Structure 1
Amino acid sequence: MVNVDGASGSVADGQVVSIPDLCKAAAERDPVLGNGFTEIHACHPRAVQALFDFAGHKLSGDVEIVNHRTNPPISPSPALPLDTGGPAAWYPVIDYDRCTSCGQCHDFCLFGVYEKTEAGKVVVAHPSSCKNNCPACARICPETAIIFPKVGESPIDGAEITDEETQKANVKINVDELLGDDVYAALNARKQKRRSLLNQKKIDQALEERRHCSEKEE
């Protein structure tokens, strides 16, 4: 079965392995991901590589990834709902080719999804703590390194990044200064900021998504 949220892959002996929800399999460190795939049919290559890396099965450079977001199969199966499989199916993964471990996502997230290692590397430590349909941290990443594979929005979904998108993502902010003593003070702090309209819109959208998910917890 192949759909935008799942994957299928071929291993060295030609066997085809079906994975209904690649995000869920990666979150659960499913051993099937260590089968030594030679070809994978799934979503954007950046997202697939980050998911396998997160699961502890980094893909080699000679694995062919067929992107069914841009090249749909002739007879695609229906896409899985965003929340299929529970909270473990919705969470961020990090493109470490772009990540600088600045810690902005770690400081911005209210739900404890991220941690920093002793070496200072930012990791997704608690994927099940992420709130369904909240990609707020990806919007404020200055390097566009955070990927939510199930988001239908580029480049957050792992699509290749253009120079224009890199400029749009340059939203380096001081989270402590922005939030102050009150999480929701950020909504007023924008009046004090002299940023471009584009960057402010991205920050506002991220704050609103995070606020919405916080209210669900209450």
Structure 2
Amino acid sequence: MPSDNITICCCKSRSFIDKEKVASIASNLIHKGNQVTLVDDLCAIVTEDPEKIKKIAQGTIMACHTRAITSHLNSCNIKSERIINIRTQSEKEVLNSCNINDEKKDVTSSADYQDILQQIEDLPKSPGTDAWYPVIDKSRCTNCGKCNDFCLFGVYTIKDHEVIVTNPENCKNNCPACARMCPSLAIIFPKYEKSPINGGTEIEESFTEEDKQAMYQKRLQYRLQQNRSRFSLLKKDE
């Protein structure tokens, strides 16, 4: 297999991706002649540096669940050559995806391994303020608008009958409530702990339709109260 440019997301502010696993995978990839780049937070790069994402997508991306990363890239009208799930796949499965099978080496005592561990340690970390925001899987989204109705923070807008994430920075950290409302399971929070909200295929968390409807109605009532309060303030200022 020819050498490749590989970008690995370490999701530094979370604990989903084991740094020792990353260091071992990266060392084996380097040993086979690949160029490996570590990034602290792919979600942040998508929103902050689209040009950088275009370059990253020209090679292999190792990060979260494939559906999450594919939806990220689709939001930028980008397609990747290859996406590998390093979050839940084992080291062996990841290396097999790169055609490194029985050639995998124990690299834990190598200079590359120690250097990569240090690189991971040196990556910036922003717990509580990292890039938490929803990504829409357009292959599932029906543009029903429930997420827009439900969200109190102005994260979504509807343009030409299409739901769009326009203000990701407004999203409340660690709140995946809008994803729970989505009847198509189209909203992904890559940093969430459980599937399918994080883009995984397993059903690790589910809510009944009655639960969803109750939460939806409660949130709509709260929004109505907010609108009434704003109207009252405007009347007082006149």
Superposed pair shares fold, TM > 0.5:
yes
8 Å CA contact 2:67, 2:199 repeated in 1? yes
Which blocks of at least 5 consecutive residues in structure 1 are unaligned?
Answer: 186-218
8 Å CA contact 2:181, 2:216 repeated in 1? no
Q: Counterpart of 2:97?
A: none
TM-score w.r.t. length of structure 2: 0.60
Matched, 1:99 2:144: no
CA distance in structure 1 between the aligned counterparts of 2:153 and 2:163, rounded to whole angstroms: 15
SS in 2 for 1:37: coil
Give CA deviations for 1:165-194 in whole Å, capped at 9, x if unaligned. Answer: 7x8576774987544644599xxxxxxxxx
Matched, 1:86 2:107: no
CA distance in structure 2 between the aligned counterparts of 1:127 and 1:69, rounded to whole angstroms: 23
TM-score w.r.t. length of structure 1: 0.65
CA distance in structure 1 between the aligned counterparts of 2:221 and 2:49, rounded to whole angstroms: 38
CA distance in structure 2 between the aligned counterparts of 1:82 and 1:145, rounded to whole angstroms: 28
Choose from 53, 66, 87 the match for 1:33.
53
CA distance in structure 2 between the aligned counterparts of 1:48 and 1:68, rounded to whole angstroms: 12
Q: Counterpart of 1:131?
A: 172
Q: State the 1:29 CA deviation.
A: 3.3
Matched, 1:66 2:84: yes
Q: Which letter maps to 2:88? A: T
CA distance in structure 1 between the aligned counterparts of 2:91 and 2:9, rounded to whole angstroms: 8
Pair 1:67–1:170, CA change in 2 (3 A): farther
**How much identity, in percent, do the aligned residues show?**
39
Give CA deviations for 1:59-105 in whole Å, capped at 9, x if unaligned. Answer: 15xx2211112214488857x99954835x11001000000010000
Q: Which letter maps to 1:86? A: T
- Of Structure 1 and Structure 2, the greater helix share is in 2
8 Å CA contact 1:90, 1:150 repeated in 2? yes
Matched, 1:17 2:58: no
Pair 1:81–1:170, CA change in 2 (3 A): farther
8 Å CA contact 2:150, 2:178 repeated in 1? yes
Give RMSD over aligned pairs: 3.8
Pair 1:159–1:81, CA change in 2 (3 A): farther
Pair 1:103–1:2, CA change in 2 (3 A): same
SS in 2 for 1:122: strand
**1:1-218 pair list within 5 angstroms:** 2=8, 5=11, 15-35=35-55, 36-54=57-75, 56-60=76-80, 63-73=81-91, 83-84=126-127, 86=129, 89-117=131-159, 119-160=160-201, 173=213, 177-179=217-219, 181-183=221-223
8 Å CA contact 1:139, 1:169 repeated in 2? no
Which blocks of at least 5 consecutive residues in structure 2 are unaligned?
Answer: 1-6, 93-107, 109-116, 226-238
Which is greater in Rg? 2
Pair 1:98–1:184, CA change in 2 (3 A): same
Give CA deviations for 1:91-149 in whole Å, capped at 9, x if unaligned. Answer: 001000000010000000000000000x1100000000001111111111111100011
